[in-house]
Chain A
Amino acid sequence: MSSPTADRTLDEILNLAASHFKVPREKLTADDDFFKTLGIDSLQALDLLTRIEQHFRIELPDYELQGVSDFRTLANRIQARL
């Protein structure tokens, strides 16, 4: 089975974030700061990380996310683990 493309990975993250944090999908874009757009704090960010790991069936050490706050970079980090 081939890995999903980077675009598809990004799209799945945006869908997951919109669904979990109850934000209209159309309001989320790749370069958004997800802390601001989703209005989440550090604990909720960990919750998002857990859901992303389960969705993509990967392990994503949180030190790889230090300083990451936009969906596109997050998608790149995930893509590297698929």
Chain B
Amino acid sequence: MSALHALLARLIGDFGATLVLGAGTILGYLTFNVLFLIWLERKVSAHAQRRLGPMEVGFHGSLQTVADMLKLLSKQLVTPLATDHFTFLFAPILIFIPTICLTSLVPLGDARAFAEMPNGLVVVVVLSGITVIAIFMAGWSSNNKYAVLGGMRSVAQVVAYEIPVLLSALSVVLIAQTLDLHEIVSGQHVPYALYEPIAALIFFIGITAETNRAPFDIPEAESELVGGFHTEYTGMRFALFFFAEYTNMLVLGAVGATLFLGGWKGPLAGRWPFLGPVYLLLKAYLVVFLMMWARWTFPRLRFDQLMNFAWKLLIPVALVNLLVTAIVLEALPLR
């Protein structure tokens, strides 16, 4: 890797080489991750229903998603006449950008992440909120009533669930005394999920809602809204929405693992640094698996139930939890 970096640095400069290698690594891994997660989703759904799922292409259907991706790549891109063309074409790209930025923020190991910031947690929360703009752009520019409904529902939902996510993350910040994701992990000798089980649960519910996953998938509720905001998208543009959804699952799962499950820490991770990313990914995939498990268990919430759940239950509970955390931290001489 460093030899490659040196070679590239001679051609396009040091910064350019880091950028190319970093983006290449991240995008390459994310592509693999999406293919893996879609396969995993299909397997989890199948086994939850006592089926086998994809079995034909590759070992246990492991190449099924590769075949699906090739099919989507080769499909015609249809742009309906009545769309707002620029917004329509830009939305699938925009939905992807914050996700990639998020990926570079999560510390993979004791070494620094690709783009680490002293206030990383704030950036994470802000970036994960941007996705909703792209979803709304897609819904609005499609000029389709189902797409508009899906987009609007998505905005209402993400705005509502951003708050409990932020509040539960704040209770971790209170314990860790820092907004730096890297330092949150280094200070985390016991997973914070044990100190803050309620916050961890609220965070999990919040990120499930933010990634538009069932039981909070009303923006793309198939049985009500055709496909919701991506109804009018075809081929690879549609695939980009999928790409973003599954990438978001992994990244928010990794953020959750960083905040509550001890990030890259694990047995022997101190001695062999390469174990750090392995532990982080294992924990992130555990969170993702829980999200999938929940998806294939729970029915979709009605819209009013969804909003009531966020505003009348999650936010008050998260606020009380934050308050109790603050009081306990002040009262007990832990530090």
Please say whether chains A and B are actual partners in one complex: no
